[in-house]
Amino acid sequence: MPVSNNPMIEVRGLTKRYGEVTAVRDLSFDVLPGRVTGFLGPNGAGKTTTMRLILGLAYPDAGTARIDGKSYASLAWPMREVGALLDARAVHGGRSAYNHLLCLAQTNNLPRKRVGEVLELVGLTEVARRRTKGFSLGMFQRLGIAGTLLGDPAVLMFDEPVNGLDPEGILWIRTLMKVLAAEGRTVFVSSHLMSEMQNTADHLIVIGRGQLLADCTMEEFIARASGQTVRVATPQADVLAKAVAEAGGTAVGGADGTLIVSGLLAAQVGALAFNHGVQVNELTVIRASLEAAFMELTADSVEYRAGAEGTRGQPAGPGQPPQELAGHGRPGYEGRS
Amino acid sequence: MATITTKQAPLLPAPSGRAGFGGTLRSEFTKIGSVRSTVWTLLVLFAVSVGIGAVASRVSATGWSNTPPADRTPLDATQVSMVGLLVLGPLVIVVLGALVLTAEYSTGMIRTSLIAMPRRGVIYVAKAVAFAAVALVTSLATALTAFFLGQALLASTHQSATLAGPGVLRAVLGTALYITLCGLFAFAAAAVIRNTAATITAMIGLLFVLPVLVNVLPWGWRDDLVRWLPTSAARAISATVWNAGPQNSHLFSQWGQFAVFAVYTVVLLVAGGILVRKRDA
């Protein structure tokens, strides 16, 4: 499959309202082939709605979504051009995995042997004749992915494909997405977890409350997210904090008695400490995790947030030392409200 | 972990043209035939309808022989033999007709189907045609089997019918068509309502409760209303003993009565199709 730079998915001014709520607001972006494009946003940001609009399942109030220049409903052979999985459980439980895929294949005149091939590909051959009623979520995901691959399409869309999967399943899907992108296909995958995208996506489209927050490569996202915070361990924290404030930075007391400085480079903090005769026991540049950058970026756009204002920007996930987050720089992303 | 590759034998080159009705119709037949409960339900419909028809025929034959010849009223042997299908058929077929659509909505399968075939009108028509074909074949097989078995059991009355008899073929075919129409009506109602329980409730109200309610109305009103009921089609089309006497004077002709229900069904099918195309799935 030749890789071109022509966008395979083009979203322009897409808007969708449900009564009072605007689920997607004037959203525009491109998805290019040959790479995994992560579609990130907190729950309720409008990711699924956007995908439903692209696929013609829902109709937009304004704007257009095109695939290879055409609206989804006008694609000649939809399954040979796009494979999309929105909800892996959206399967009639009384039908076997084989028959489920067969009735999908028949709509696009795909040969019957393709069903066996994709079942083999996702490792469901042994349960192909079983009704899907008793399938685990992981098996549903594999079945859904088998369905997307039936027509060997150039464009693949997955909505939260790793939700509820065990680590092995997650690794399998990550690898699959990379392989598909390496084959030159367009892979567009949504998630509400930055950590999920960190190892998979080459490009990111971040939305919050239905609006575009960022559209950049993963490298750009990392660059913007890091290098802004310096942790200082010092017995004279108050002196240094004052000096930092005078120099235009921000200093916040960390959880373990350290000082977290943002807005200044490590060398500037070191010079300040030297000039003010402050003893420094430790000076560390903290590269904020992508998770933290993502939380920071979307903090204002999260629809439902647990806890008080003080929890803003802090991930709930385990394994995130809180001091890495406190007061780290706020990168100014375009489009941020 | 299994190694992953999507490398495969090259596909047949994409055919010219576009995904359309033929493939979608095959897909809809696969959908109906691959759900075990549907297949079983149709088999049970066949067996129980034939069984009830046989019992009714046997009882009629006994009653005939126990009635003095002078007191005998004309026996509609065709209608008697198909009574099982006429009573049970609509009940079963409206449930299946509704489920063909609502099961897709309740499981979310409709979205999977629409991603595979986004042209909604094509899916809607293919679904209706596939279901109608299955319903017609089943009810025709049931009607014919019940007819022949019933006539054998009624032979002693010398009132039994043959397919060549006056109005008999119309009654047998018409009954099968009526059952199919009930199923299509439920299918269309399901496209409008999109909920299994609500659709089935509405259908039972229309086909089983309304005819009873109409009977408690003053006779003048009843006679004006009854010709507009869908169920009057069944009474008219399945009869071979049909006189224009006071009993039927308020009804249209037999095919005319059938046409009333057919028009309802077509109108509702069009409405359902429009809604399926317009609404978000």
Q: What is the pLDDT of residues B170-181, one digit of tens each?
A: 999 999 999 999
Mean pLDDT, residues A37-55 taken together: 94
- Domains of chain B, by residue range, sit at 23-64+74-278
**Which is more confident, A139 or A306?**
A139
Determine which of A58-62, A291-295, B57-61, B248-252 has the lowest per-residue pLDDT on average. A291-295
Q: pLDDT averaged over chain A?
A: 84
- Between CA B30 and CA B49 the distance in angstroms is 26
Assign residue A264 a region (left: φ > 0; alpha: ψ between -120 and 50; beta: otherwise). Answer: beta
User: Do A167 and A241 lie in a common domain?
Assistant: no
Same domain, A163 and A258: no
State the best of A66, A106, A130, A173 to mutate against chain B, taking most chain B CBs within 10 Å.
A106
Spatial neighbors of B62 by CB under 8 A, at least 6 apart, are none
Contact A94 B36 (CB under 8 A): yes
Tokens of A318: 């385990």
pLDDT at B184 over 80: yes
> Closest approach of chain A CAs to the CA of B98, in angstroms?
15
Give dist(CA B108, CA B102) in Å, integer: 10
Edge-to-edge strand order for the sheet containing A259-262? A250-253, A259-262, A229-233, A282-286
For the residues A155-163, what does the mean pLDDT come to? 93
Is A73's pLDDT higher than 50? Answer: yes
- Interface mutation vs chain A, best among B112, B114, B123, most A CBs within 10 Å: B112
A180 contact B CB<8A: yes
Q: Is the CB of A152 inside 8 Å of chain B's CB atoms?
A: yes
Nearest to B271 by CA among B119, B124, B95, B97: B124
Cβ separation A172–B2 shorter than 8 A: yes
Question: Nearest CB to A149: which of B6, B34, B36?
Answer: B6
Across the interface, whether the CB atoms of B107 and A91 are under 8 A apart is answered: yes
- The number of folded domains in chain A is 2
**Same domain, yes or no: A150 and A255:** no
Contact A90 B107 (CB under 8 A): yes
Of the three residues A180, A195, A220, the one that is the final residue of a domain is A220
Q: What is the identity of the amino acid at A28?
A: S
Decide if pLDDT at A226 tops 90.
Answer: no
A80 touching chain B per CB within 8 A: yes
Q: Do B1 and A94 touch (CB under 8 A)?
A: no
Share of chain A above pLDDT 90, in %: 55
Cβ contact (<8 Å) for A57 and B17?
Answer: no
Q: Which of A306-315, B101-110, B222-231 has the lowest mean pLDDT?
A: A306-315
Statement: residue A87 has pLDDT above 50 = yes
Mean pLDDT, rounded, for A252-275: 83
Angle between helices B196-204 and B168-193 (to 10 degrees): 140
A94 touches chain B (CB under 8 A): yes
Judgement on whether residues A245 and A172 belong to the same structural domain of the protein: no
Confidence of residue A4 (pLDDT cuts 50, 70, 90): low
* Spatial separation of the C-alpha atoms in residues B6 and A323, rounded to whole Å: 43
On whether residue A120 sits in a domain, the answer given is yes
Long-range contacts of A196-200 (CB under 8 A, 24+ apart): A196/A38, A196/A162, A196/A170, A197/A38, A197/A40, A197/A290, A198/A290, A198/A291, A199/A174, A200/A36, A200/A38, A200/A174
- CATH number of domain containing A46: 3.40.50.300
The confidence band for A217, taking pLDDT boundaries of 50, 70 and 90, is confident
Q: pTM of the full predicted structure?
A: 0.82
Is the same domain home to A244 and A109?
A: no
Do residues A140 and A39 both lie within one domain?
yes
Closest residue in B to A151 (Cα) is B11
Question: Is B275's Cβ below 8 Å from some Cβ in A?
Answer: no
Chain A closest CA to B126's CA: distance in Å? Answer: 10
Q: Could you tell me the pLDDT band of residue A332, with boundaries at 50, 70 and 90?
A: very low
Q: What is the pLDDT of residue A78?
A: 96
Are the beta carbons of B24 and A107 closer than 8 angstroms? Answer: yes
The residues, ordered by sequence, that sit 6+ positions from B274 with a Cβ below 8 Å of its Cβ are none
| A75 contacts in chain B (CB < 8 Å) | 18, 118
Q: Which residues of B touch A115 (CB under 8 A)?
A: none
The answer on pLDDT for A305 being more than 60 is: no
At A302 the pLDDT is 62
For residues A61 and A201, state if they share a domain. Answer: yes
Whether residues A235 and A204 fall in one domain? no
Quickly tell me which residue has 């006679």 as its tokens: B223
Going by pLDDT thresholds of 50, 70 and 90, the confidence category of residue B51 is very high
CA distance A143 to chain B (A): 12
**Contacts for B212 with CB less than 8 Å, ≥ 6 apart:** none
- Assess whether A154 and A78 both reside in one domain: yes
Average pLDDT of the residues in A75-101:
94
Residue A195, pLDDT score:
80
d(CA A172, CA A6): 28
pLDDT 10s digits, B111-148: 999 999 999 999 999 999 999 999 999 999 999 999 99
pLDDT value at A170 more than 80: yes
| Ramachandran region, residue A311 (left: φ > 0; alpha: ψ -120 to 50; beta: rest) | alpha
The domain boundary residue, chosen from A204, A220, A236: A220
Other CB atoms within 10 A of residue B65 CB: 10
- Give yes or no for residue A326 having a pLDDT over 50: no
Domain span including residue A191: 9-220
User: Where residue A257 sits, what CATH number does that domain have?
Assistant: 3.30.70.100
Cα separation of the two ends of chain B: 36
- In chain A, residues with a C-beta closer than 8 Å to the C-beta of B118 are 55-56, 72-73, 75, 78
Whether residue A314 is predicted with pLDDT greater than 60 in this model: the reply is: no
Check the CA dihedral B215-B217-B221-B225 and report its sign.
Answer: negative
Asked whether the predicted pLDDT for residue A324 surpasses 80, the reply is no
What is the rounded CA–CA span in Å between residue B178 and residue B262? 9
Identify which of B214, B258, B267 has the alpha carbon closest to the alpha carbon of residue B237. B258
A32 within domain boundaries: yes
Domain membership flag for residue A19:
yes
Comparing C-alpha atoms, which of B3, B30, B202, B40 is closest to residue B130?
B30
* Residue A77 sits in the same domain as residue A107: yes
User: Residues A135, A256: one domain?
Assistant: no
Same domain, A237 and A195: no
